């Protein structure tokens, strides 16, 4: 009976995360476009932050509930892998993406810096909030840089947006995400305990995949509409915000104590996936369906390796 309750909790959690993420995304984009923000900025900030909310809530709640630090850390690392390989891979199968100069030269560099900062902190040891302040400083610098960039290329504001209504919907969506994160964590931990699966593996796969559903839904919708900048901005932006935002918030609750395997095995794998994407972006001016197949194959092999 317990196994069915756990599976049911995971299904409910995933559905709440999906619908909450979809609603949060739609309202956030509506407000952002009403304010005259460009598609790239919307993808990097509005969409990426909105779709990263499940990861934030899941990791912070896990820290509050006293769960192993591998949950919070694995959620971040696993989500980054899922974004690069699964989310972008499926998006490319739907619609190839043309790479802009900003993505190729600037945003990929920011993404690599964010990852290297996390790996550097993991090398030192458990991540305390004091140590994570380095990530907060990096995030503040990143936000300030794009704030001034956004002011340069701002479009005319749209006066027809119902800001009060959309703000209320954003609040409702956030509640759905919070409840969904609780259900997902409960079910995942129950299954891990019953079958003796390490928290590290559960967080890197099941939890990371569940919290990445908003990114996947967003990327698919954007790919169908041909909004290439939103697709790439969503993936790259999420992979920047995941380490720079989630880790400090989780460490604020209590220090993140992760396993040795998380640093020795999983961090290098995330770095390898990031380098794979950087190589594709560096050598090609356009990502095609063949690149999507390669990324999905890499993700499949990664899951086989873990289990």
- Give the integer Cα–Cα distance in Å for 24 and 2: 32
Tokens at 41, concatenated? 């900025």
Domains of the chain are 2-306 (1.20.1420.30)
Residues 6+ apart with CB under 8 A from 151: none
- Give the integer Cα–Cα distance in Å for 143 and 172: 26
What SS3 state is found at 287? strand
Average pLDDT, the chain: 83
Site of tokens 């794009």: 146
pLDDT band at 181 (very low <50, low <70, confident <90, very high): confident
Is residue 100 pLDDT above 80, yes or no? no
Using CA atoms, how far residue 123 sits from 63, 133, 138, 231, 273, in Å, is 20, 16, 18, 32, 19
Output the pTM of the full model. 0.82
129, with CB counted inside 10 A (0-12, 13-18, 19+), is middle
Note whether 188 and 54 are within 8 A (CB).
no
**pLDDT at residue 42 in the model:** 67
**pLDDT at residue 152 in the model:** 66
- Give the integer Cα–Cα distance in Å for 261 and 266: 7
Tokens at 163, concatenated? 């800001």
Note whether 214 and 56 are within 8 A (CB).
no
- Give the integer Cα–Cα distance in Å for 89 and 290: 9
Residue of higher predicted confidence among 103 and 180: 180
Residue pLDDT, tens place only, 112-158 = 999 999 999 999 999 999 999 999 999 889 888 877 776 665 555 55
């Amino acid at each position: 009976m317990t196994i069915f309750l756990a599976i049911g909790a995971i299904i409910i959690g995933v559905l709440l995360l999906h619908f909450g993420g979809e609603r949060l995304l739609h309202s956030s984009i509506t407000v952002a476009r009403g304010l005259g923000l460009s598609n790239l900025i919307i993808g990097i900030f509005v969409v990426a932050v909105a779709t990263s909310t499940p990861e934030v809530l899941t990791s912070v709640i896990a820290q509050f509930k006293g769960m192993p630090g591998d949950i919070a850390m694995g959620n971040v690392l696993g989500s980054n892998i899922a974004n690069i390989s699964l989310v972008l891979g499926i998006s490319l199968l739907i619609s190839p993406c043309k790479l802009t100069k900003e993505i190729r030269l600037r945003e990929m560099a920011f993404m690599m810096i964010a990852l290297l900062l996390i790996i550097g902190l993991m090398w030192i040891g458990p991540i305390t909030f004091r140590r994570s302040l380095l990530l907060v400083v990096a995030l503040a610098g990143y936000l300030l840089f794009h704030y001034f960039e956004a002011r340069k290329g701002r479009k005319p504001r749209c006066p027809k947006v119902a800001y009060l209504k959309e703000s209320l919907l954003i609040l409702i969506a956030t509640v759905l995400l919070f409840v969904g994160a609780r259900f997902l964590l409960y079910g995942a931990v129950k299954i891990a305990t019953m079958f003796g699966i390490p928290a590290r593996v559960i967080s890197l796969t099941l939890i990371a995949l569940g919290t990445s559903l908003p990114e996947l839904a967003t990327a698919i919708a954007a790919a169908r509409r041909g909004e290439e900048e939103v697709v790439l901005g969503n993936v790259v932006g999420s992979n920047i915000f995941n380490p720079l935002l989630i880790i400090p918030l989780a460490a604020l609750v209590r220090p993140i104590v992760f396993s040795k395997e998380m640093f020795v095995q999983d961090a290098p794998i995330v770095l390898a996936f990031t380098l794979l994407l950087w190589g594709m972006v560096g050598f090609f001016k356009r990502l095609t369906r063949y690149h999507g197949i390669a990324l999905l194959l890499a993700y499949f092999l990664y899951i086989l390796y873990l289990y």
